C-alpha cells in the first residue's frame, strides 16, 4: 500500500464521530468531535498560495464526520487539506510519550540541516540547537541562510539532515524523494496535523515526527480559541511539542 492507502485503512479502523466544531485559522486548524476527540491541524501558508474558499469545498466540509474530513488528506486544496489534517490528528493521535524537543534536537548539533519552508516562530529554536540551517523558501531569499525553493533538492544532497512540514505531503514532495531521504542521517517531519502512522512515514525516509499534544489538564477551549484567533501552534501555552520516532 502507498502512504495514502495506508492512511485510509487506518482511518477506517477508528471510531468515527460527527464534528461539533471546525476552525480554519491563519496558522492552524482545529476540530472538536461530538465524542470529545479533538485535533490541531496544518494550514498551508497563505503567503505562498491564496486561501480561496470554494463553495463546493465549503459545503462538503459542513456536516461531514471526522472520517470524511480525514479522507481529504489527499487533497491539494488548502481549505480541504487544513480540515483533513485536524481530523487525522483527532482520529489517529500519538500516544502519550515521545521526547522533549530540546533533548532530541541536539542529535543534529553542528550538522547541516536543509529546511523546506520558513517558519518564523521555529527558526530561532533551530539556531539555539546548534544547527547549521539552510532554509529554502522563495519568500525570504534576501535573509541570511535562505535560498530559492527550487534549490532544495541540491540542499538535501549537501545536508546531513532534512526538516519538512506537512506541505511536503500536500505537494507530494515527500512521496517522490524517498531514495534521497534514506541516505541522510535523518529527516524531521513537523506537525501539526500528522496522523500516528509511524510505519507509513518511515517508508518514506522520515525518522522523527514532531507533533503537538495537549498539556496535562489542557483546556481544549483555550486551544480552540488560540487557533481561531489566528495564533501559531508553536506559541500556544496549552500545547507541548514532542518528538516521536518514525
In a domain, 190, yes or no: yes
* pLDDT score, position 144: 84
Position 48 confidence tier, pLDDT thresholds 50, 70, 90: low
> Do 115 and 185 reside in the same domain of the chain?
yes
> Do 142 and 160 reside in the same domain of the chain?
yes
Domain containing residue 105:
99-212
> Do 80 and 130 reside in the same domain of the chain?
no
| Better pLDDT: 141 or 36 | 36
As a whole number, the mean pLDDT across the chain is 91
In a domain, 196, yes or no: yes
In a domain, 68, yes or no: yes
149-170: string of b/e by CB count within 10 Å (b at 16+)?
A: beebeebbeebebbbbbbbbbb
> Do 169 and 200 reside in the same domain of the chain?
yes
> Do 117 and 206 reside in the same domain of the chain?
yes
Give DSSP secondary structure letters for 119-143: -TTTHHHHHHTT-EEEEE-GGGTTS
**What value does the mean pLDDT take over residues 142-149?**
87
CA–CA dist 240, 212 (Å, integer): 5
**What value does the mean pLDDT take over residues 137-156?**
87
> Do 82 and 116 reside in the same domain of the chain?
no
> Do 144 and 105 reside in the same domain of the chain?
yes
Looking up residue 140, the CATH number of its domain turns out to be: 3.40.50.11590
> Which residues have C-beta within 8 Å of that of residue 39, sequence separation ≥ 6?
30, 31, 85, 86, 87, 88, 89, 90, 91, 93, 192, 193
In a domain, 164, yes or no: yes
Considering its fold, how many domains does the chain have in total? 2
> Do 145 and 226 reside in the same domain of the chain?
no
What confidence tens digit (pLDDT) does each residue in 86-116 have?
999 999 999 888 999 888 899 999 999 999 9
| Residues facing residue 61 across a β-bridge | none
What kind and span of H or E run contains 240? Answer: strand 239-245
Q: Are 79 and 70 in contact (CB under 8 A)?
A: no
Q: Is the pTM of this model over 0.85?
A: yes
Give DSSP secondary structure letters for 18-65: -EEEEEE-SS-EEEEETTS-EEEE----TTTS--PPPHHHHHHHTT--
In a domain, 175, yes or no: yes
DSSP state of 160: S
| C-alpha to C-alpha distances, 105 to 112, 122, 161, 236, nearest whole angstrom | 13, 12, 11, 20
> Do 121 and 48 reside in the same domain of the chain?
no
> Do 203 and 226 reside in the same domain of the chain?
no
In a domain, 74, yes or no: yes
**What value does the mean pLDDT take over residues 2-31?**
95
Looking up residue 86, the CATH number of its domain turns out to be: 3.30.390.100
Amino acid at each position: 500500500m502507498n502512504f495514502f492507502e495506508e492512511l485510509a485503512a487506518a482511518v477506517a479502523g477508528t471510531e468515527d464521530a460527527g464534528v461539533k466544531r471546525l476552525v480554519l485559522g491563519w496558522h492552524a486548524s482545529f476540530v472538536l468531535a461530538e465524542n470529545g476527540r479533538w485535533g490541531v491541524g496544518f494550514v498551508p501558508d497563505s503567503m505562498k498560495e491564496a486561501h480561496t474558499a470554494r463553495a463546493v469545498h465549503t459545503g462538503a466540509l459542513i456536516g461531514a464526520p471526522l472520517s470524511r474530513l480525514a479522507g481529504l488528506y489527499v487533497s491539494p486544496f488548502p481549505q480541504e487539506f487544513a480540515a483533513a489534517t485536524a481530523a487525522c490528528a483527532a482520529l489517529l493521535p500519538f500516544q502519550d510519550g515521545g521526547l522533549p524537543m530540546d533533548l532530541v534536537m541536539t542529535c543534529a548539533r553542528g550538522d547541516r540541516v536543509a529546511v523546506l519552508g520558513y517558519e518564523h516562530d521555529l527558526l530561532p529554536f533551530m539556531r539555539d540547537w546548534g544547527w547549521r540551517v539552510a532554509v529554502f523558501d522563495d519568500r525570504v531569499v534576501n535573509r541570511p541562510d535562505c535560498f530559492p525553493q527550487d534549490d532544495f533538492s541540491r540542499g538535501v544532497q549537501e545536508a546531513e539532515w532534512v526538516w519538512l512540514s506537512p506541505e511536503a505531503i500536500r505537494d507530494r514532495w515527500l512521496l517522490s524523494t524517498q531514495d534521497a531521504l534514506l541516505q541522510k542521517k535523518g529527516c524531521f517531519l513537523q506537525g501539526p496535523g500528522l496522523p500516528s502512522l509511524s510505519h507509513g512515514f518511515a517508508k518514506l525516509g522520515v525518522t522523527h515526527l514532531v507533533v503537538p499534544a495537549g498539556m496535562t489538564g489542557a483546556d481544549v477551549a483555550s486551544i480552540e480559541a488560540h487557533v481561531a484567533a489566528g495564533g501559531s501552534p508553536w506559541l500556544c501555552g496549552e500545547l507541548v511539542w514532542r518528538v516521536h520516532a518514525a
